[in-house]
Amino acid sequence: MRTTLGLLALSVLACAGTKDTGNGDDDDLDLGPPQLDLLLVIDTSGSMKEESSALAVGLDAIIDALGSADWQIGVTTASADPQAGGTTGVDPGEAGSLVGPVITSAGDNAVETLRAQLLCDTIYWKDNDLESDPNYAGDAGDCPVPTVVSREYLGCVCGEETWNTDEGTGNEEGLEAIYAAICRADGDQPDACWDPTGALTTADAGSNAELWREGVPAAALIVSDEGDGSRRLTNGDPDPTAYVELYAGTSRDLEVYVLGPPYHDSDGSCLASAQTWGVERYQAAAEATGGEYADLTELDEDCTELDVATQVAGLLAAAVE
């Protein structure tokens, strides 16, 4: 969609925890806080520096969109190939694995813990692209959030030179990463989870068990400046039906949300390096699963960048609606 989604957060939060009885009165029933189990899927390619920085810096506003919701968030990447990272095995964040522990709304310092997981263990930082801010002042455990992520800020949050320097594969497989993350929930998954097309074996069952709670609505949010290139579909095919059906065959009913490049009415002028069919695939997957797609930039002459935090906040507000 072309319009900013941030205002949706206010309307959703105003309605959370109430129910219209339909009898013409203003009676509301307290349903308790909404719940959400969220898989955050991050594109870790080098071209995502600006978007990733904005995501981490704007995390307070993003989490505010969830309001009083009882949420859990697990973070993975769009790299579904175990050979992509620094080792030949599955590194944290690859093939649907989580980069770190599941973070919950009830946990201490949940926002800062999630921010650190994004900054230190998920986002790819190219050394010669990192800005320096000699005037930045912070101490471990008390790191003021700057406007722009700098080397000094990362050192405060992560420790000196301990942030992620492994770039993604270059082929973003967001839909496959979601499927692998669901397959890792438990042993009660279809055989397709363990077939040679993917990177998993039955030994991976249960490795994401803490993310998925029984009876709690689940969603995946992909943040990428590319389209989908998942392996179970042919390049050039914009139809995600194969993945939608795979999701439906698992133990997890899940909605897909995407923040990605704008492509509407056959206008690809702001796609940059993204393939039209890959973007259409994400858009169709969001629609088919009951999720939403939001744009990284305006579809205008200048491809004006939209505020990442505002766009993500709008998507999360829709997810808990």
Between CA 285 and CA 42 the distance in angstroms is 17
Quote the longest CA-to-CA distance of the chain: 63
Question: Of the candidates 214, 175, 290, 219, which has an alpha carbon nearest to the alpha carbon of residue 37?
Answer: 219
How would DSSP label each residue in 178-245?
HHHHHHTT-S---GGGGSTTSS--GGGTTTTTTTPPTT--EEEEEE-SS----TTS-TT----HHHHH
Distance CA 244, CA 126 (A): 34
The pLDDT profile of the chain, 321 residues, written as one tens digit per residue, is 444 444 444 344 444 443 333 444 444 555 689 999 999 999 998 889 899 999 999 999 999 999 999 999 999 999 998 876 566 778 899 999 999 999 999 998 999 999 999 999 999 988 888 899 999 999 888 999 999 999 999 999 998 878 887 777 778 999 999 999 999 998 889 999 999 999 999 999 999 999 999 999 999 999 999 999 999 999 999 999 999 999 999 988 899 999 999 999 999 999 999 999 999 999 999 999 999 999 999 999 999 999 999 999 999 999 998
Q: So what's the pLDDT on residue 28?
A: 52
Angle ∠(96,100,104) on CA atoms, nearest 5: 100
- In the chain, the domains with their CATH numbers are 32-124+164-319 (3.40.50.410)
100 backbone φψ class: left, alpha, beta (φ>0; ψ -120 to 50): beta
Q: Which two tokens stand for residue 195?
A: 């077939």
